[in-house]
A and B are shown apart, each in its own frame.
Chain A
Amino acid sequence: MTADVAPAIPTTRTPAPARRPLLNTRRLTDVLSHAYIWLCLIVFVLPFLALLGYSFTGPGGTRPAQNFAYVVSSFGDNLLWSLKISALTLVINVAVSLPAAYAIVRQSFPGKRLLFSVLTLPLYVPGAVIGISLVLTYNFTYHLTTSMWGLVLAMSLGTFPLMLTPLVVALKDLPIVFEEAAECLGATRWQTYRRIVLPLIGPGLSAGLLLCFIIVFNEYLVTLFVHPPGLTTAPLRVFNQIRTAGLSPTTAALAVTMQLISFAAVLLFFRLFGTRHLKGTYLL
């Protein structure tokens, strides 16, 4: 019987090594794999490091303190504007996304998928298109060109889907039995929401906050289109500086400051909540 089967399948014969080879393929691939990861990581961080180095220089040697002091003095306004705009945007995003996420997850209504697509669409529209459409609409329909709120709402529009998604994920992961138990124990809807649901989706909410903060804080593209005259956020300032004055250490210092603040926010989040809650967002 066996004689009939064997010839149809080709077999390869590799000689078995006598001892464990020192430089075997597996170890080599492992080393190369890790090297590849590290190479990519270095490439990611390289621009930042370059700017960091650059920010420490000046005419006649290194003067990091002065550059960064310059950042505070000259660009301080821009930094403050960035923080302010980010904070306001975050507040609006939460106010808009939290109820919407709750309705999407807990209520039943037709066309949920369509609605979710409709609401997350801003993520897929190119920034320049959002920019041009808003600047024209602001100018001629809403008359919002000179108000800070025009910029805030533009930022909010572009980023609230990034708040919505982690919230939806967090709410889906929250067993409905907790809300039912609270209701049976006599809690009103608002009490249930405030005392049970919110604390338990806290990490998801923070993930959304982190994401939105990072994006809004560093946003320059749409800002270029819609910012009111006189209101320049820090990234926009960096952009303008490069375009008008070319590269300079102080500009680099500003860019570095922005990235450090962003990185600190990320670290803080990781420290507090770990990486679980970023599922479904772009950060994980």
Chain B
Amino acid sequence: MSGEVGSLAPLLPAALSVPRRRDRAARVRTLALLAPAILLALLFLYYPLVFIVQMSFTEGSSFLSPSGAISTLENYVTIVNRYLPNVFVTLQLAFLATLVDLVFGFPFAYILVRKVRYRTLVRGLMVFPMFGALYIAFGMRFILLPGGPATPILQALGIASTDALFSLPSVVFAMSIFTFPFMVLNIGTALSNVDPTLEEAAACLGARPWQTFTRILLPLTRAGLVAGALTVFGWSIGTFAEPLLLGSINEQRALAWTVYQRGVVQTDYGLSTAMGTVLLIIAFVVTYLSLRYSRGALIE
């Protein structure tokens, strides 16, 4: 046997013929594979976020001045004193858009999941809103222009065009169109996990449709509803196209736009980053809640 040992060696590259543990190499490999993603997130999300939170505690643009930063809570105080309406409007718009999406989205999702057979067509058309709130707002503004296509209908209803155009309802309407597909997705997933035979069973037991809805469907899809609502809410607090294009002065106070104005246009970094931080906190609370309620993690 020993005479044959030598004959095997030339078949293998020298490095491989030495027994070596493989898990250390595997760990390095894992790290290398994850590095680009982690780096991207760290450099372009986490560090910048930390940066602006820091900046929010400094006065004006003093963070960047050579004489050093002046730390202060003044920015937040200013927000409380002068910008609460902005915060309020932002929350209000997001809340209303979410409500509209819930109310109209549930039946849509239900019909889509349970009854419709031409689902691909529906999905194909459902992508339009997702191209961007900008086009929706643009289109709606055009429709609602005085002298525009909707004017005759509005006149018949006794509403002045300008009332319809620059108003809260049109902003909310546009916002809810944009986020409608997200809501439908979440509700649809939750609904498709509910066995249709449960509804049939309820009907056989004598339940009326409203009762089936409130006592069977709602409880079972609650997680999907909450996840959808929170997703929509989170998206809605960060938008400015609809408030700007379709809103009155009041709606144009949406925080996202105020951040831009104070930050980029007026370079009041302290204040704008403070507003950004406020937005961030709201978003994180919402996200945290939605992740807790969402069905089934993708990763075990």
Give A contacts to B, CB under 8 Å.
12, 30, 33-34, 36-37, 40-41, 43-51, 53-54, 92, 95-97, 99-100, 102-104, 107, 109, 112-113, 115-119, 121-122, 124-137, 140-141, 153-154, 156-157, 160, 164-165, 168-169, 172, 214, 218-221, 224-225, 235, 238-239, 242-243, 247, 251-252, 255, 258-259, 262-263, 266-267, 270, 275, 280, 282-284
Name A's interface SS: helix
Q: Which A residues are in CB contact (< 8 Å) with B299?
A: 104, 112-113, 116, 168
Residue B172, interface by CB 8 Å: no
Contact assessment for B48 and A103 in the assembled complex, using a CB-CB cutoff below 8 Å: no
Among listed B6-14, B71-79, B106-114, B216-224, interface-contacting one: B106-114
Q: Which A residues are in CB contact (< 8 Å) with B283?
A: 124-126, 129
Residue B88, interface by CB 8 Å: no
Contact assessment for B135 and A122 in the assembled complex, using a CB-CB cutoff below 8 Å: no
Nearest to B39 among chain A residues (CB) is A96
- Which residue of B112, B128, B177, B237 has the most chain A CB atoms within 10 A of its CB atom? B128
Contact A51-B55, Cβ < 8 Å, known A128-B240, A128-B276: no
- Which residue of B138, B255, B259 has the most chain A CB atoms within 10 A of its CB atom? B138
Contact assessment for A125 and B135 in the assembled complex, using a CB-CB cutoff below 8 Å: no
A45 vs B124: C-alpha distance when bound (angstroms): 11
List the 10 closest A-B pairs by CB distance, nearest first. A47-B139, A126-B238, A133-B48, A128-B256, A103-B33, A100-B37, A99-B33, A218-B132, A157-B44, A124-B287
Residue B201, interface by CB 8 Å: no
Contact assessment for B138 and A258 in the assembled complex, using a CB-CB cutoff below 8 Å: no
Interface size class of B (residues with CB under 8 A): 35 or more
Residue B164, interface by CB 8 Å: no
A40 vs B183: C-alpha distance when bound (angstroms): 13
Q: Which A residues are in CB contact (< 8 Å) with B158?
A: none
A90 to chain B, nearest CB (A): 14
Q: Which A residues are in CB contact (< 8 Å) with B181?
A: 282-283
Contact assessment for A284 and B123 in the assembled complex, using a CB-CB cutoff below 8 Å: yes
A115 vs B51: C-alpha distance when bound (angstroms): 22
Nearest to B134 among chain A residues (CB) is A220
Nearest to B126 among chain A residues (CB) is A44
B65-92: CB near A (< 8 Å → 1, else 0) gives 0000000000000000000000000000
